[in-house]
């Protein structure tokens, strides 16, 4: 019963986020991970996958993979159920084991896989997979977009070099909105 | 158009033309320049605003997506560089306000509201508004609404117009100075020519000449002026000679006219004398004509008279012819009527002779009685005939006098009473109290009344009735004799007064009539005719229903 109510509430929150009735940055109104889950989809609006990417294959769904232990719970499944990214249905896949990497179009690397991060980055860096994390210093190590908190607001930083290396096309608009970092910069 | 320039000297006109043209052209050109400048400024403003709006909208996409109000305000603050922007607002895709910008340098900032969420540019009072869609990758994220003031646009135009006016004044001054100098090129030689012409007209010295200079129209004008003077000179000389000749001819003409006038005067006197004679002759002719006309009229009148007489003669001849015929017929009737009683008398005489021989006194007496009746009838016939003949020949004199009708009727009733009594006929005469007088001939009226009464008795059956009435009618006295006798057919009535067809009728007691009685009555009554009412004898009768005879006499 409690789960059902919770699920119902989550739905309301997601709808409010999508229709812009509430600020996604307002942490007092929604949970941190709810905002992060929403931001994952919004980043896709400003990123273009090249023609040889599986994203261009209309037969397959848009796959979002979550590596490592995460705090999303069912948020991603609920949020992206019956939604579309790049005009394709969305499939959320999870791999708690950092060594077991999944084929996908976007990967969220949780902070729990820090020791395996370089391997993961190496694995995905030439595969046109948008890498997103929420751990300090991950962007400087090669993750494309890293979410961080500042003055109670969730902001993001982008490793522009890593993005260019991945053959993904990122809009200048998102670059202007983000903090630009580079490999090995001061954390 | 030329009347407008009928003032001042040629110099003033030329100056006015040059300065006028300069001002007109400059004003037109400056107006075009001012309009062009304003239009260009406006287009620049619109383009600048549109480009900036697009840029701001571009940068505002992610601020809306990531709900970054501060980022949006930062983006809008870039409009600081455009001094005429008053305010700018960003709305999200639902039309909800997201971020705003105000230009603090501009004090008054009106609050316009976004009218329609589509890309548009429109003016409102002194402001221009622009709406720009905030979109990325065909997705709409919101709207940008910028308001800018157009006062700078007007300010620029005002400055530009002031500049143009100053320039115009300078150009007018320059054009006036230039006109003043340049007009002399044209006006100077004309003025010189005018001066020479004035001198010639005042002094009548046609020997003066101008010295042609240059090769243009002025040179030609000078040359032609000199030529004209030459010709005037020649014409002047010719005119003097002609004038002298003319004077001579005039005096000759005067002489001729004088002579001719005398000749004409003489001729006129002769003509006048002739005219008087002609008039006299004309008057005589008119008189003759009038006489002729009168005699013609007289002849015409005579002819008419003759024609009338002729017609009358023809009529009278016709009448005579008819009378003659009538007389012939009458004589044959009378002869027949006279023959009958004679035959009866002769028959009676023969029978008398027979009865005398047989000595039959009864029959002798009877025949004597018949003989007497025959003779009496014969006498009566002859006396009537005599009376009628006297009347026709006019030997009976007509002497009308005032007579009492009732007395005459009574007298005549008495004279025929024995005859009526023999047939037991009742004679009615209702005598009226008032006397009725007529103006008539006594003998004639007695004859008429007696004849009508004996006729009535004759044609009335035994025990019949006869009535006599007298009464006043319009302007006359009517006497009516009415019987209950055998009456007549309409055909017989019509023959009654016609002598040519008259025939005697046998009475109810075998009385014999001559047929002349009624004709004599008609004649005697007609002699009393004064007007249409008097002197009429009329009959109304119906077969077996009696007859009524009525005659009218003038009132006495």
Count how many residues are written for chain B: 556
Question: Which residue in this structure is represented by tokens 């084929």?
Answer: A103
The verdict on residue A16 lying in a domain is yes
Residue B218 is inside which H or E element, if any? helix B217-358
Kindly state whether B135 is in contact with chain A, defined as any CB-CB distance less than 8 angstroms: no
CA distance B158 to chain A (A): 42
Residues contacting B74, CB < 8 A, separation 6+: none
Instruction: Count the domains in chain A.
Output: 1
Give the whole-angstrom CA distance, residue B65 versus residue B61: 6
The verdict on residue A186 lying in a domain is no
Task: State residue B505's pLDDT score.
Answer: 54
Q: Which segments in chain B show pLDDT lower than 70?
A: 1-6, 109, 214-215, 329-330, 332-333, 336-337, 394-395, 433, 499-515
**Where do the H-state alpha helices sit in chain A?**
2-18, 32-45, 75-80, 117-125, 138-141, 160-165, 172-177
Give the whole-angstrom CA distance, residue B81 versus residue B87: 13
CB B90 within 8 A of CB B18: no
Exposure on the CB side of residue B474, measured as CA atoms within 13 A: 3
Kindly state whether B96 is in contact with chain A, defined as any CB-CB distance less than 8 angstroms: yes
Give the whole-angstrom CA distance, residue A130 versus residue A39: 13
Give the whole-angstrom CA distance, residue A182 versus residue A180: 7
CB A73 within 8 A of CB A85: no
CA distance B170 to chain A (A): 56
Task: State residue B24's pLDDT score.
Answer: 93
Residue of B nearest to A177 (CA): B62
- The residue range of the domain holding A175 is 2-181
Domain containing residue A113: CATH number: 3.40.50.2300
Residues contacting A116, CB < 8 A, separation 6+: A98, A99
Q: What is the mean pLDDT of residues A145-169?
A: 90
CB B244 within 8 A of CB B259: no
Kindly state whether B283 is in contact with chain A, defined as any CB-CB distance less than 8 angstroms: no
- The bridge status of strand B401-404 relative to strand B437-440 is antiparallel
Question: Which residue in this structure is represented by tokens 């009676």?
Answer: B348
Residues contacting B448, CB < 8 A, separation 6+: B521, B524, B525, B537, B551
A173 vs B61, B67, B92: nearest CB? B61
Task: State residue B272's pLDDT score.
Answer: 93
The verdict on residue A83 lying in a domain is yes
The verdict on residue A128 lying in a domain is yes
Task: State residue B269's pLDDT score.
Answer: 93
A20 vs B58, B71, B92: nearest CB? B92
Residue B118: name the closest of B136, B98, B132 by CA: B132
DSSP B67: T
CB B511 within 8 A of CB B461: no
Number of Cβ within 10 Å of residue B556's Cβ equals 16
Residue B370 is inside which H or E element, if any? helix B361-393
Check CB contact under 8 Å for A45 and B136. yes
Which two three-digit tokens encode residue A37?
């889950």
Residue B498: name the closest of B482, B512, B515, B485 by CA: B515
Residue B401 is inside which H or E element, if any? strand B401-404
B residues 218-247 lying closer than 8 A (beta carbon) to A:
none
Residue A143: name the closest of A127, A160, A122, A121 by CA: A121
Residues contacting B150, CB < 8 A, separation 6+: B42, B45, B84, B123, B126, B127, B128
Check CB contact under 8 Å for B68 and A177. yes
- Quick check: A23 pLDDT over 50? no
CA distance A185 to chain B (A): 25
- B61 CB neighbours in chain A (<8 A) are 173
Which two three-digit tokens encode residue A42?
């919004």
Which two three-digit tokens encode residue B161?
């117009």
Q: What is the mean pLDDT of residues A90-114?
A: 91
Task: State residue A20's pLDDT score.
Answer: 45
Buried b (16+ CB within 10 A) or exposed e, B94-125: eeeebbebebeeeeeeeebebeebebeeeeee
Give the whole-angstrom CA distance, residue B482 versus residue B466: 6
The verdict on residue A187 lying in a domain is no
Task: State residue B2's pLDDT score.
Answer: 54
- The bridge status of strand B537-541 relative to strand B465-473 is unpaired
DSSP B512: B
Residues contacting B65, CB < 8 A, separation 6+: A42, A45, B141
Residue B453: name the closest of B478, B488, B475, B425 by CA: B425
CA distance A39 to chain B (A): 8
Distances (CA, A) of A131 to A43, A64, A184, B113: 11, 10, 17, 43
**How far is the first Cα of chain B from the last one, in angstroms, to the nearest whole number?**
114
Is A27 or B230 the better-scoring residue by pLDDT?
Answer: B230
- A39 CB neighbours in chain B (<8 A) are 66
B258-279 pLDDT, tens digit each: 999 999 999 999 999 999 999 9
The verdict on residue A143 lying in a domain is yes
DSSP B509: T
Handedness of CA B420, B426, B432, B436 (dihedral sign): negative
Residue B135: name the closest of B119, B147, B120, B122 by CA: B119
Task: State residue B520's pLDDT score.
Answer: 83
The verdict on residue A40 lying in a domain is yes
The verdict on residue A134 lying in a domain is yes
- B96 CB neighbours in chain A (<8 A) are 20
Number of Cβ within 10 Å of residue B48's Cβ equals 14
Question: Which residue in this structure is represented by tokens 């009529």?
Answer: B315
Check CB contact under 8 Å for A45 and B65. yes
Residue B450 is inside which H or E element, if any? helix B442-458
Give the whole-angstrom CA distance, residue B192 versus residue B419: 157
CB B444 within 8 A of CB B524: yes
DSSP string, A48-66: E--TTSGGG-TTSPEEEEE
Which two three-digit tokens encode residue B317?
């001849």
Distances (CA, A) of B264 to A148, B122, B268: 149, 106, 6
Residues contacting A187, CB < 8 A, separation 6+: A136, A137, A140
Residue of A nearest to B139 (CA): A45
Task: State residue B13's pLDDT score.
Answer: 87
A108-154 pLDDT, tens digit each: 999 998 888 999 999 998 889 999 999 999 999 999 999 998 887 88
Check CB contact under 8 Å for A46 and B94. no
Task: State residue B341's pLDDT score.
Answer: 74
State whether residue B183 is helix, strand or coil.
helix
- Quick check: A27 pLDDT over 70? no
Give the whole-angstrom CA distance, residue B313 versus residue B318: 8
Exposure on the CB side of residue B15, measured as CA atoms within 13 A: 15
């Amino acid at each position: 019963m409690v789960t059902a109510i919770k699920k119902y509430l989550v739905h309301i929150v997601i709808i409010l986020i999508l229709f812009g009735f509430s600020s996604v940055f307002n942490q007092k109104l929604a949970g941190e991970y709810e905002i992060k889950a929403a931001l994952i989809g919004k980043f896709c609006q400003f990123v273009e996958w090249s023609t040889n990417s599986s994203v261009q294959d209309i037969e397959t769904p848009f796959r979002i993979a979550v590596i490592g232990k995460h705090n999303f719970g069912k948020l991603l499944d609920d949020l992206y159920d019956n939604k579309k990214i790049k005009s394709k249905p969305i499939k959320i896949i999870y791999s708690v084991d950092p060594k077991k990497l999944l084929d996908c179009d976007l990967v969220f690397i949780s902070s729990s896989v820090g020791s395996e991060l370089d391997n993961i980055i190496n694995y995905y860096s030439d595969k046109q997979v948008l890498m997103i994390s929420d751990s300090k210093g991950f962007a400087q190590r090669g993750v494309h977009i890293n979410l961080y908190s500042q003055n109670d607001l969730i902001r993001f930083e982008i490793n522009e070099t890593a993005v260019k290396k991945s053959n993904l096309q990122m809009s200048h608009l998102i670059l202007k909105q983000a903090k630009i970092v580079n490999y090995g910069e001061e954390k | 158009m030329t009347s407008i320039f009928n003032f001042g000297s040629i110099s003033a006109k030329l100056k006015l033309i040059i300065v006028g043209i300069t001002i007109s052209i400059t004003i037109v050109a400056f107006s075009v320049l001012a309009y062009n400048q304003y239009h260009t400024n406006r287009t620049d403003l619109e383009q600048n605003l549109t480009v900036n709006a697009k840029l701001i909208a571009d940068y505002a996409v992610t601020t809306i997506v990531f709900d970054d109000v501060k980022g949006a305000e930062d983006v809008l603050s870039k409009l600081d560089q455009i001094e005429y922007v008053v305010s700018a607002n960003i709305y999200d895709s639902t039309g909800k306000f997201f971020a705003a910008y105000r230009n603090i340098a501009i004090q008054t900032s009106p609050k316009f509201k976004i009218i329609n969420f589509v890309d548009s540019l429109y003016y409102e009072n002194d402001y221009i508004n622009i709406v720009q869609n905030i979109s990325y990758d065909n997705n709409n994220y919101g709207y940008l609404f910028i308001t800018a003031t157009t006062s700078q646009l007007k300010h620029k135009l005002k400055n530009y117009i002031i500049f143009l006016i100053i320039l115009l004044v300078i150009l007018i001054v320059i054009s006036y100075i230039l006109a003043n100098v340049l007009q002399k090129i044209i006006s100077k030689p004309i003025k010189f020519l005018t001066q020479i012409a004035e001198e010639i007209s005042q002094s009548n010295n046609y020997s003066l000449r101008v010295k042609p200079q240059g090769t243009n129209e002025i040179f030609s004008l000078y040359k032609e002026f000199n030529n004209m003077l030459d010709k005037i000179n020649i014409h002047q000389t010719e005119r003097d000679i002609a004038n002298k000749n003319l004077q001579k001819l005039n005096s000759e003409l005067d002489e001729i006219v004088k002579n001719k006038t005398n000749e004409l005067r003489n001729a006129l006197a002769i003509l006048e004398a002739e005219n008087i004679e002609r008039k006299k002759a004309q008057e005589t002719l008119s008189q003759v004509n009038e006489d002729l006309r009168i005699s013609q009229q007289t002849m015409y009148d005579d002819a008419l008279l003759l024609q009338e007489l002729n017609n009358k003669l023809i009529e009278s001849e016709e009448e005579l012819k008819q009378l003659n015929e009538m007389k012939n017929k009458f004589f044959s009737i009378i002869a027949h009527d006279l023959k009958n009683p004679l035959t009866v008398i002769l028959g009676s005489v023969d029978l008398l002779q027979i009865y005398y021989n047989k000595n039959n006194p009864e029959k002798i007496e009877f025949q004597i009685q018949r003989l007497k009746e025959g003779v009496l009838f014969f006498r009566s016939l002859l006396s009537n005939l005599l009376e009628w003949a006297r009347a026709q020949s006019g030997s009976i004199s007509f002497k009308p006098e005032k007579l009492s009708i009732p007395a005459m009727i009574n007298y005549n009733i008495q004279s025929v009473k024995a005859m009526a009594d023999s047939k037991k006929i009742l004679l009615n005469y209702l005598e009226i109290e008032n006397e009725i007088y007529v103006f008539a001939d006594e003998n004639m009226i007695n004859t008429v009344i007696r004849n009508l009464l004996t006729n009535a008795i004759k044609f009335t059956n035994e025990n019949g009735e006869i009535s006599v009435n007298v009464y006043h009618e319009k302007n006359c006295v009517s006497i009516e004799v009415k019987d209950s006798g055998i009456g007549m057919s309409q055909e017989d009535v019509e023959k009654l007064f016609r002598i040519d067809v008259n025939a005697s009728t046998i009475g109810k007691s075998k009385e014999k009539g001559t047929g002349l009685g009624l004709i004599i009555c008609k004649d005697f009554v007609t002699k009393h005719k004064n007007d249409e009412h008097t002197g009429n004898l009329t009959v109304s009768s119906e077969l077996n229903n009696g007859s009524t005879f009525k005659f009218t006499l003038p009132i006495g």
